């Protein structure tokens, strides 16, 4: 029932993995229990902590209002859920999947990233999917550096409804992409 561990080479070739800590809650510190209750397990991100929004391109190019899941919760917390559009710098920077842009909402540092959508792409190879995922993480990490924040809370990109045929592979793909 558990994914096979990634090859050892994956861990030894990347310095970033030594700094990753896996936790049982989302970027806002909330854990969803099996009975669908939300429990605050950690503090919300502070001004020194950037956090990742797994954005949908259609929302970035229109408005945050209809987003659900983790993004919907993030937009409510940021106070932008009812805005007619995202800030211009975000909309200008993200025009297609695999792109990211950080934006400061008062003292909150959000990195919006649009990951690949693997749903309906049954002919895509594992390596091609990994390459796209790696590009999305690269874009997100570049924006983290640009943000100047010393801490980052991130979640797996494209691991939910966008995982498609790679849903079972996402843990290993995430490690390798990073």
CA proximity to 65, closest of 51, 78, 75: 75
Q: Which residues make Cβ contacts (< 8 Å) with residue 114, sequence separation at least 6?
A: 55, 56, 57, 60, 94, 96, 97, 98, 99, 100, 136
pLDDT in tens, 132-145: 999 999 999 999 99
Q: How many residues does the chain have?
A: 178
Model pTM?
0.88
pLDDT in tens, 35-68: 989 899 999 999 999 999 999 999 999 999 989 8
CA distance 44 to 28: 5
């Amino acid at each position: 029932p558990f994914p096979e561990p990634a090859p050892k080479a994956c861990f030894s070739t990347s310095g970033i993995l030594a700094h990753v800590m896996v936790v049982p809650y989302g970027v806002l510190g909330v854990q969803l229990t099996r009975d669908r209750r939300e429990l605050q397990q950690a503090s919300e991100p502070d001004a020194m902590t950037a956090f990742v929004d797994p954005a949908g391109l259609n929302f970035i190019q229109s408005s945050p209002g209809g987003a659900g899941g983790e993004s919907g919760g993030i937009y409510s917390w940021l106070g932008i859920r009812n805005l007619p559009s995202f800030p211009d710098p975000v909309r200008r920077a993200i025009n297609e999947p695999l792109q990211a842009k950080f934006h400061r909402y008062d003292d909150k540092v959000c990195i919006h990233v649009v990951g690949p959508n693997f749903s309906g792409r049954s002919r895509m190879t594992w390596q091609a999917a990994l390459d796209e995922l790696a590009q999305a993480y690269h874009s997100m990490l570049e924006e983290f550096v640009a943000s100047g924040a010393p801490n980052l809370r991130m979640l797996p990109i494209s691991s939910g409804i966008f995982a498609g045929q790679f849903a079972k592979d996402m843990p290993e793909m995430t490690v390798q992409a990073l």
